[in-house]
Structure 1
Amino acid sequence: MNTLTITRHKGIASVAIGNPPANVLTTQLIDEINAFVLSLKGDSETKVVVFRSSNEKFFLAHLDLNAINGSAHGRAACNEFSQMIDNIKAMRQLSILKHGGQTAREATDFSGLFADTASALAQ
Protein backbone atom coordinates (compact mmCIF):
# COMPACT_ATOMS: atom_id res chain seq x y z
CA MET A 1 0.00 0.00 0.00
CA ASN A 2 1.25 3.45 -0.87
CA THR A 3 -1.07 5.75 1.10
CA LEU A 4 -1.54 3.67 4.25
CA THR A 5 0.99 2.44 6.76
CA ILE A 6 -0.43 -0.37 8.85
CA THR A 7 1.16 -1.74 12.00
CA ARG A 8 -0.28 -4.44 14.25
CA HIS A 9 0.45 -5.18 17.87
CA LYS A 10 -1.53 -7.28 20.37
CA GLY A 11 -4.85 -7.12 18.54
CA ILE A 12 -4.58 -3.44 17.61
CA ALA A 13 -4.09 -2.28 14.02
CA SER A 14 -2.80 1.26 13.65
CA VAL A 15 -3.55 2.77 10.25
CA ALA A 16 -1.61 5.92 9.35
CA ILE A 17 -3.07 7.78 6.39
CA GLY A 18 -0.34 9.43 4.34
CA ASN A 19 -1.37 11.05 1.07
CA PRO A 20 0.65 14.30 1.02
CA PRO A 21 0.33 17.14 1.15
CA ALA A 22 -3.12 17.21 2.81
CA ASN A 23 -4.47 13.65 2.64
CA VAL A 24 -6.85 14.33 -0.23
CA LEU A 25 -9.26 11.42 -0.68
CA THR A 26 -8.03 10.17 -4.04
CA THR A 27 -9.30 6.99 -5.65
CA GLN A 28 -6.03 5.31 -4.64
CA LEU A 29 -6.51 6.22 -0.96
CA ILE A 30 -10.16 5.16 -1.03
CA ASP A 31 -9.23 1.85 -2.70
CA GLU A 32 -6.51 1.17 -0.12
CA ILE A 33 -8.80 1.93 2.83
CA ASN A 34 -11.45 -0.33 1.28
CA ALA A 35 -8.91 -3.13 0.74
CA PHE A 36 -7.68 -2.88 4.32
CA VAL A 37 -11.17 -2.80 5.84
CA LEU A 38 -12.32 -5.74 3.70
CA SER A 39 -9.21 -7.70 4.74
CA LEU A 40 -10.49 -7.55 8.32
CA LYS A 41 -13.63 -9.58 7.58
CA GLY A 42 -12.01 -12.90 8.40
CA ASP A 43 -9.55 -11.49 10.93
CA SER A 44 -10.32 -12.71 14.44
CA GLU A 45 -7.04 -11.45 15.91
CA THR A 46 -7.55 -7.73 15.28
CA LYS A 47 -9.96 -6.29 17.84
CA VAL A 48 -9.30 -2.55 17.46
CA VAL A 49 -8.38 -0.35 14.49
CA VAL A 50 -6.94 3.11 15.13
CA PHE A 51 -7.06 5.48 12.16
CA ARG A 52 -4.72 8.48 12.27
CA SER A 53 -2.95 10.83 9.92
CA SER A 54 0.74 10.91 9.11
CA ASN A 55 0.30 14.69 8.71
CA GLU A 56 -0.11 16.55 12.00
CA LYS A 57 -1.89 19.47 10.26
CA PHE A 58 -4.54 17.51 8.37
CA PHE A 59 -6.50 14.40 9.14
CA LEU A 60 -8.25 14.30 5.76
CA ALA A 61 -8.95 16.84 3.08
CA HIS A 62 -11.82 16.70 0.62
CA LEU A 63 -12.54 14.21 -2.13
CA ASP A 64 -10.18 14.65 -5.05
CA LEU A 65 -11.87 17.14 -7.37
CA ASN A 66 -10.74 15.05 -10.33
CA ALA A 67 -12.75 12.19 -8.87
CA ILE A 68 -16.00 14.15 -8.72
CA ASN A 69 -15.89 15.75 -12.15
CA GLY A 70 -19.10 14.22 -13.49
CA SER A 71 -17.36 11.68 -15.70
CA ALA A 72 -17.95 7.94 -15.49
CA HIS A 73 -14.67 7.68 -13.56
CA GLY A 74 -15.88 10.41 -11.20
CA ARG A 75 -19.18 8.66 -10.55
CA ALA A 76 -17.32 5.41 -9.88
CA ALA A 77 -15.04 7.21 -7.41
CA CYS A 78 -18.04 8.62 -5.56
CA ASN A 79 -19.54 5.13 -5.38
CA GLU A 80 -16.24 3.76 -4.05
CA PHE A 81 -16.23 6.47 -1.37
CA SER A 82 -19.77 5.48 -0.32
CA GLN A 83 -18.73 1.83 -0.24
CA MET A 84 -15.73 2.74 1.91
CA ILE A 85 -18.03 4.44 4.44
CA ASP A 86 -20.38 1.42 4.44
CA ASN A 87 -17.45 -0.99 4.83
CA ILE A 88 -16.11 0.92 7.83
CA LYS A 89 -19.58 0.97 9.41
CA ALA A 90 -19.81 -2.82 8.95
CA MET A 91 -16.45 -3.58 10.60
CA ARG A 92 -16.63 -5.99 13.54
CA GLN A 93 -13.58 -4.38 15.06
CA LEU A 94 -13.85 -1.32 17.25
CA SER A 95 -12.61 1.65 15.25
CA ILE A 96 -11.01 4.70 16.81
CA LEU A 97 -10.09 7.96 15.14
CA LYS A 98 -7.00 9.73 16.46
CA HIS A 99 -7.68 13.19 15.10
CA GLY A 100 -5.04 15.87 15.45
CA GLY A 101 -5.54 18.10 12.43
CA GLN A 102 -8.12 19.73 10.20
CA THR A 103 -10.80 17.83 8.35
CA ALA A 104 -12.53 19.22 5.28
CA ARG A 105 -16.32 19.06 5.15
CA GLU A 106 -16.49 16.13 2.73
CA ALA A 107 -14.16 14.10 4.91
CA THR A 108 -16.38 14.57 7.95
CA ASP A 109 -18.40 11.59 6.73
CA PHE A 110 -15.34 9.52 7.56
CA SER A 111 -14.76 11.31 10.88
CA GLY A 112 -18.46 11.20 11.72
CA LEU A 113 -18.44 7.42 11.66
CA PHE A 114 -16.47 7.46 14.87
CA ALA A 115 -18.72 9.99 16.59
CA ASP A 116 -21.74 7.86 15.66
CA THR A 117 -20.05 4.76 17.06
CA ALA A 118 -19.06 6.52 20.28
CA SER A 119 -22.61 7.82 20.71
CA ALA A 120 -24.10 4.36 20.15
CA LEU A 121 -21.69 2.79 22.64
CA ALA A 122 -22.54 5.42 25.26
CA GLN A 123 -26.25 4.56 25.06
Structure 2
Amino acid sequence: MIYTGYSAMSVDVQHGVATVTIDNPPLNLLDGQLIADLRRFAAQVRTDRTAQVIIFDSADPQFFIAHGDMHFLTGAAPMDAGDDLPPGTNVVQAINEEIRSLPQVTIGKIAGLVRGGGNDSSSAPNSPTPSWPSATA
Protein backbone atom coordinates (compact mmCIF):
# COMPACT_ATOMS: atom_id res chain seq x y z
CA MET A 1 0.00 0.00 0.00
CA ILE A 2 1.23 3.52 -0.76
CA TYR A 3 0.95 6.23 1.89
CA THR A 4 1.21 9.71 0.36
CA GLY A 5 -0.45 13.10 0.55
CA TYR A 6 0.18 13.86 4.21
CA SER A 7 1.22 17.39 5.13
CA ALA A 8 2.13 17.05 8.83
CA MET A 9 3.86 13.65 8.67
CA SER A 10 5.41 11.14 6.31
CA VAL A 11 5.12 7.36 6.10
CA ASP A 12 7.82 4.95 4.93
CA VAL A 13 7.13 1.20 4.75
CA GLN A 14 9.98 -1.29 4.51
CA HIS A 15 10.04 -5.00 5.31
CA GLY A 16 6.67 -4.94 7.10
CA VAL A 17 7.50 -1.90 9.26
CA ALA A 18 5.68 1.39 8.69
CA THR A 19 7.55 4.37 10.12
CA VAL A 20 5.33 7.41 10.67
CA THR A 21 7.49 10.50 11.09
CA ILE A 22 5.67 13.46 12.61
CA ASP A 23 6.89 16.67 10.95
CA ASN A 24 4.65 19.59 11.93
CA PRO A 25 6.92 22.56 12.72
CA PRO A 26 7.67 24.51 14.72
CA LEU A 27 6.83 22.28 17.73
CA ASN A 28 5.10 19.26 16.22
CA LEU A 29 1.74 20.65 17.26
CA LEU A 30 -1.18 18.27 17.56
CA ASP A 31 -3.35 20.48 15.37
CA GLY A 32 -6.17 19.91 12.92
CA GLN A 33 -3.83 18.95 10.08
CA LEU A 34 -1.85 16.39 12.10
CA ILE A 35 -5.07 14.92 13.49
CA ALA A 36 -6.55 14.63 9.99
CA ASP A 37 -3.34 12.99 8.72
CA LEU A 38 -3.23 10.52 11.64
CA ARG A 39 -6.91 9.60 11.26
CA ARG A 40 -6.50 9.02 7.51
CA PHE A 41 -3.38 6.92 8.10
CA ALA A 42 -5.06 4.84 10.84
CA ALA A 43 -8.05 4.13 8.59
CA GLN A 44 -5.78 3.12 5.70
CA VAL A 45 -3.22 1.03 7.61
CA ARG A 46 -5.87 -0.87 9.58
CA THR A 47 -6.47 -3.16 6.57
CA ASP A 48 -2.88 -3.25 5.28
CA ARG A 49 -1.65 -6.80 5.86
CA THR A 50 1.87 -5.90 4.68
CA ALA A 51 2.44 -3.45 7.57
CA GLN A 52 2.89 -5.57 10.69
CA VAL A 53 4.60 -3.00 12.91
CA ILE A 54 4.09 0.77 13.06
CA ILE A 55 6.71 3.07 14.57
CA PHE A 56 5.76 6.68 15.38
CA ASP A 57 8.72 9.05 15.60
CA SER A 58 9.54 12.72 15.12
CA ALA A 59 11.50 14.65 12.52
CA ASP A 60 12.45 17.13 15.28
CA PRO A 61 14.71 15.66 17.99
CA GLN A 62 13.60 18.38 20.44
CA PHE A 63 9.86 17.67 20.20
CA PHE A 64 7.79 14.51 19.86
CA ILE A 65 4.47 16.38 20.16
CA ALA A 66 4.82 19.58 22.17
CA HIS A 67 1.15 20.27 22.80
CA GLY A 68 -2.31 20.36 21.30
CA ASP A 69 -3.28 23.46 19.34
CA MET A 70 -7.00 23.86 19.97
CA HIS A 71 -7.54 26.37 17.14
CA PHE A 72 -8.81 23.49 15.02
CA LEU A 73 -11.85 23.45 17.33
CA THR A 74 -12.17 27.12 18.23
CA GLY A 75 -10.93 28.95 15.12
CA ALA A 76 -12.93 30.68 12.40
CA ALA A 77 -13.21 27.43 10.41
CA PRO A 78 -13.43 24.62 12.99
CA MET A 79 -12.43 21.13 11.92
CA ASP A 80 -15.31 18.85 10.99
CA ALA A 81 -14.66 15.70 13.00
CA GLY A 82 -17.14 13.70 10.96
CA ASP A 83 -19.68 11.21 12.15
CA ASP A 84 -17.29 8.29 12.50
CA LEU A 85 -15.85 9.00 15.96
CA PRO A 86 -15.90 6.16 18.48
CA PRO A 87 -18.85 6.62 20.87
CA GLY A 88 -18.23 9.05 23.71
CA THR A 89 -15.01 10.53 22.30
CA ASN A 90 -13.94 13.89 20.94
CA VAL A 91 -11.62 14.11 17.94
CA VAL A 92 -8.42 14.13 20.04
CA GLN A 93 -9.52 11.10 22.06
CA ALA A 94 -10.69 9.44 18.85
CA ILE A 95 -7.30 9.52 17.14
CA ASN A 96 -5.63 8.05 20.21
CA GLU A 97 -8.26 5.29 20.36
CA GLU A 98 -7.89 4.63 16.63
CA ILE A 99 -4.12 4.20 17.01
CA ARG A 100 -4.47 2.16 20.22
CA SER A 101 -6.90 -0.24 18.53
CA LEU A 102 -4.89 -0.88 15.35
CA PRO A 103 -4.26 -4.60 14.74
CA GLN A 104 -0.54 -3.96 14.19
CA VAL A 105 2.07 -3.64 16.90
CA THR A 106 2.54 0.10 17.46
CA ILE A 107 5.65 1.67 18.94
CA GLY A 108 6.18 5.29 19.95
CA LYS A 109 9.86 6.16 19.50
CA ILE A 110 9.74 9.16 21.79
CA ALA A 111 12.54 11.71 21.94
CA GLY A 112 12.24 15.33 22.96
CA LEU A 113 9.39 17.13 24.69
CA VAL A 114 5.99 15.52 25.13
CA ARG A 115 3.41 17.88 26.60
CA GLY A 116 -0.33 18.57 26.58
CA GLY A 117 -1.97 16.68 23.71
CA GLY A 118 1.38 14.99 23.12
CA ASN A 119 1.09 13.15 26.45
CA ASP A 120 -2.10 11.46 25.30
CA SER A 121 -0.69 10.75 21.85
CA SER A 122 2.51 9.28 23.27
CA SER A 123 0.54 6.73 25.29
CA ALA A 124 -1.59 5.51 22.35
CA PRO A 125 1.01 3.09 20.88
CA ASN A 126 1.27 -0.40 22.40
CA SER A 127 4.85 0.34 23.39
CA PRO A 128 5.77 3.97 24.05
CA THR A 129 9.56 3.90 24.14
CA PRO A 130 11.28 6.99 25.55
CA SER A 131 14.80 7.89 24.58
CA TRP A 132 16.40 9.10 27.82
CA PRO A 133 17.57 11.72 28.66
CA SER A 134 16.03 13.56 25.70
CA ALA A 135 12.38 12.54 26.30
CA THR A 136 10.70 14.81 28.84
CA ALA A 137 7.10 15.42 29.81
* TM value normalised by structure 2: 0.75
- Give the counterpart letter for 1:113 in structure 2: A
The 5 A counterparts of 1:4-23 are 4-23=9-28
Q: Deviations over 1:66-120 (max 9, x none)?
A: 1353989279598222211111111000001111100113311111223xx349x
Instruction: Name which structure has the greater RCO, CA cutoff 8 Å, separation 6+.
Output: 1
For 1:95, the equivalent position in structure 2 comes to 106
CA distance in 2, matches of 1:39, 1:75: 19
Matched, 1:67 2:78: no
Matched, 1:106 2:117: yes
- Give the counterpart letter for 1:89 in structure 2: R
The answer as to whether partners of 1:14 and 1:50 remain within 8 angstroms in 2 is: yes
CA distance in 2, matches of 1:75, 1:7: 28
Structure 2: stretches of 5+ with no match in the other structure: 1-5, 83-88, 129-137
Using a 3 Å threshold, how does the CA distance of structure 1 residues 24 and 91 change in structure 2: closer, same or farther?
same
The answer as to whether partners of 2:97 and 2:124 remain within 8 angstroms in 1 is: no
Structure 1: stretches of 5+ with no match in the other structure: none
Matched, 1:79 2:90: yes
CA distance in 1, matches of 2:81, 2:104: 27
The answer as to whether partners of 1:31 and 1:80 remain within 8 angstroms in 2 is: no
Matched, 1:27 2:38: no
* TM value normalised by structure 1: 0.83
CA distance in 2, matches of 1:28, 1:45: 26
Paired residues in the alignment total 117
| Percent of aligned pairs with the same amino acid | 28
The answer as to whether partners of 2:30 and 2:117 remain within 8 angstroms in 1 is: no
